[in-house]
Amino acid sequence: MPLIPLHDANPRLYIRAHYVTIALILVNALIFISQLGIGDGQRFDAVAGYGVVPARFFDGLEVPAGLAGVSSPLTLITHQFLHADWAHLAFNMLFLWVFGDNVEDALGHVRFVVFFLLCGVAGGLAQSIVEPESVTPVIGASGAISGVLGGYLVLYPRARLLVLAFLMIPLRLPALLVIGTFFAQDLLWGLTNAPAALGTAVWAHIGGFIAGAVLVVFMRNPRVPLWHKPPSPW
């Protein structure tokens, strides 16, 4: 990952605190921590039962009898709260922390919850449509958080971001460049089936991003303009 966002110079204008963003981070962290004490077999069962398995939608795959889980449509929600390891969780939550508060500010608390979940659903569906016979579970909030990035890009493309380039170089760059780089990388990996994307549900990222960019136009507070340039202290 060439650019890691650390902070944005974009103050909230309509809400005092980003309660939903904080709550989503806490819920994801608590669910992950709760799984640390279970064995690998139980963890695999949870991933199989609550993750999105494309073949359950399109190839008639049935989960083994007695396996805990939910119906395939509900996995489009539950998969968003499962993560493979600490790095997977940490990167997703970092992106949500940096970008989520401003999207929550633009939508309001309740609409932001709906927005987040819908983007995650779109991501799970996109990955399933591209790989309809896959039996590999898709887990993680990446699709939903990609939707947050898509919404942020439409709202604040000129906001200034503090990023860490190549894990060592601090830079201040516009959101259009930073978020555009992430999306372009995912799109390139998805279209070329790049080995670098192995194990990454890039089409979930792409589907969530596009959903977020579209949904934010209709779900935002009418007072919030599109393509806004927030005042920057930098």
Architecture of the structural domain at 3-9+17-219 = Up-down Bundle (1.20)
Point out which residues pair with 171 in neighbouring strands: 163
Residue 68's pLDDT band (boundaries 50, 70, 90)? confident
Query: What gap in Å lies between CA 212 and CA 200, rounded to an integer?
Result: 19
Whether residue 6 is predicted with pLDDT greater than 70 in this model: the reply is yes
What number is the average pLDDT over the span 32-52? 82
What number is the average pLDDT over the span 36-45? 75
- C-alpha radius of gyration, the chain, whole number: 18
Stretch among 6-10, 133-137, 198-202, 217-221 having the lowest mean pLDDT: 198-202
Question: 49 near 69, Cβ under 8 Å?
Answer: yes
Tell me the whole-structure pTM to 2 decimals.
0.93
Q: Which sequence spans correspond to the domains of the chain?
A: 3-9+17-219
Is 126 or 58 the better-scoring residue by pLDDT? 126
If we measure between CA atoms, which residue out of 140, 162, 56 comes closest to residue 90? 140
